Amino acid sequence: MSATSSSVATPVGAGLRPIRLRLTLTVLGYGALALVVCLLAPLVGSTSISVSRALDRSIPFADNVDAQIFFLARLPRVLAGATVGAALATSGVVLQALLRNPLATPFTLGVSSGAALGAVVAIAGGMTVGLGPLSPVPFASLAGAFLVSAIIYALGTRPGRPMSTDVLLLAGVTLNAFLSALILLVQYFADFAETYRMVRWLMGDLDAGGFLPIAAVLPLLVVAFAMFATLPSALNLLSVGADTASTRGVSVPRTQRVAFVATALATSAAVTLAGPIGFVGIVVPHLVRLMTGVDHRIVLPASALFGAAFLVACDLVARTVLAPVELPVGIVTAVIGGPFFLWLLVRKS
C-alpha cells in the first residue's frame, strides 16, 4: 500500500497531507501574509503621506518629507516589528516545548526581568556608556538579560544529563519575582521623571530610532534562528517524553541547551530592541497551533512568520487608532492577547 494511495483512498490520510507539502504550503502562506502586512504597514501611519511622492527620486531627499517619513521613520519601525515579532513568537514555541508547558512565554525564564532591571538601573544611574551602535539603556538591558539567562542556565544544567525543567521553571519564576522587587526598589529611589521613563520603557516601543539599533542586535538574531532551525523535529520528540526522545536518537541535553540558548539570545535581542512586549510569545504559538496542528516542524516557521505579521499589525493599530497620539504597542498586544487567552481557557474547559 503506497503512501499516496493511502492518503487518498482511506480516511486515515485525508486529514494529514504529506509533511513536505504541508511545510511548503505553510511557509508560502504565512510568508505571503507576513510580506503583505510588512508592505502595507509603512503606507499607513499617524500622518498621511503620498507613497508615489515618497518613492519619487527626482525630489531631493532633504526636501521630500514623505520620503523621510517613509524611509527614516516607518520602514525601520516595520522592520523592527517584524524581527521582534518573529523572535518572540518563535521563542515562545520553543520554550513551551522545552518546559513542556503550553503556558510558558519567552519571559518565563527571567530574560525580560533581567533586561528591565538593566534598563531601569541605566535610567536611574544616568548611564552614559554604550556599546557601539547600542545606546546605554539598550546596552544595559542586553547585559541584564544575558546575566539572568546565565544564572538560570547554570542552575538548571547538569553535566552530561538532561536539564531539570522543574528547576528551570522555578528559577525563572523566583528570579522574576526577585528582580521585580529590585526594579520597584530602583523606581522608588528614582526621581519622578526617571520613574516615568522606566514605566514607559516597560511598555515596549518599536520606534527603535533608525536601522542602526536593529543592525546592532541582528547578529544575535541570526545565530538564534540558525539554532532554532535545528530544533523542530527534536522538539516533537522531546515533548512526547525525554526518555522516549533519547531512545529515538535525540540527544536530550544538547537539544535542551540549544533550545535554551537560542531562546535567550532571541528574546534578549527582542527586548533590547523594543522593550518587553508581552503576549506575542504566547498568543501567536497558540493561534498557529489552532490553525496548523502541533507538529513543531510546521509550528516553528509558521509562528516566526505569523509573529512578524502579528506584531507589525498590532503596531499599525497602535500608531493609528488614536492618531496623532501613538499607543505603546505592548498595550495593543495585551488588549488583544488578554481576552484571547481567557477565551482559550474557557474553550479548553
* Cα–Cα distance for residue pair 261/208, rounded to 1 Å: 24
Please report, for residues 88, 100, 142, 183, 248, the alpha-carbon distance to residue 235 in angstroms, rounded to integers and kept in the order given: 17, 10, 27, 34, 12
Considering only residues 243-282, where is the footprint of other proteins by CB under 8 A?
Answer: 243-244, 246-251
Q: What's the closest the beta carbon of residue 198 comes to other proteins, in angstroms?
A: 10
- Rule CB under 8 A: choose which of 108, 112, 135, 263 binds other proteins: 135
Shortest distance (Å) from residue 266 CB to other proteins:
21
1 binds other proteins (CB under 8 A): yes
> Residue 145 or 318: which CB sits closer to other proteins?
318
Segment near other proteins (CB under 8 A), from 106-114, 218-226, 259-267, 292-300?
Answer: 292-300
Burial class (CB in 10 A: 0-12, 13-18, 19+), 255: buried
Q: Which of residues 84-123 bind other proteins (CB under 8 A)?
A: 96-97, 100-102, 123
Integer Cα distance of 55 and 71 in angstroms: 9
Kindly list the distances between the CA atom of residue 173 and the CA atoms of 123, 184, 328, in Å, as whole numbers in the listed order.
Answer: 25, 17, 26
CA distance 348 to 290: 12
* 216 is an interface residue for other proteins by CB under 8 A: no
Closest separation in Å from C-beta 201 to other proteins:
7
CA gap 325, 82 in Å, rounded: 22
Nearer to other proteins, 171 or 319 (CB): 319
**Residue selected from 43, 209, 320, 344 as contacting other proteins according to rule CB under 8 A:** 209
By CB under 8 A, tell whether 13 contacts other proteins: yes
Instruction: Name the minimum Å distance from CB 150 to other proteins.
Output: 25
Asked if 331 touches other proteins (CB under 8 A), the answer is no
Radius of gyration of the chain (CA): 21
**Residue 180 and residue 176: Cα distance in Å, rounded?**
6
Only one of the segments 146-154, 172-180, 218-226, 229-237 lies at the binding site for other proteins (rule: CB under 8 A); that segment is: 229-237
Considering only the stretches 51-59, 84-92, 203-211, 258-266, report the one whose residues sit in contact with other proteins under the rule CB under 8 A.
203-211
- The residue count for binding other proteins (CB under 8 A) is 81
Contact 295, 160 (CB under 8 A): no
Q: Are 90 and 298 in contact (CB under 8 A)?
A: no
* Cis peptide leading into residue 285 (ω within 30°): no
Cell of 24: 511548503
Residue 47 near other proteins by CB under 8 A: yes
Q: Which of 43, 326, 335, 340 binds other proteins (CB under 8 A)?
A: 326
Amino acid in position 69: I
Residue 68 touching other proteins (CB under 8 A)? yes
Does 237 bind other proteins (CB under 8 A)? Our answer is: yes
> Is 180 or 244 the residue whose CB approaches other proteins more closely?
244
Beta carbon nearer to other proteins, 7 or 151: 7
How far is Cα 172 from Cα 178, in angstroms, rounded to an integer? 10
- Given 151, 155, 223, 294, the residue binding other proteins (CB under 8 A): 294
Residue 246 backbone zone (phi > 0: left; psi -120 to 50: alpha; other: beta): alpha
Which one, 1 or 346, has the nearer CB to other proteins? 1
Segment 155-184, which members bind other proteins (CB under 8 A)?
none
By CB under 8 A, name the one of 2, 52, 58, 349 that touches other proteins: 2
Q: How far is the CB of 67 from other proteins (least distance, A)?
A: 9
Side-chain half-sphere CA neighbours of 304 within 13 A:
22
User: Binding residue for other proteins (CB under 8 A) from 26, 30, 34, 74?
Assistant: 74
As measured in angstroms, the least distance from the Cβ of 44 to other proteins is: 11
As separate numbers, helices (DSSP H) first and strands (DSSP E) second, the chain gives 17, 0
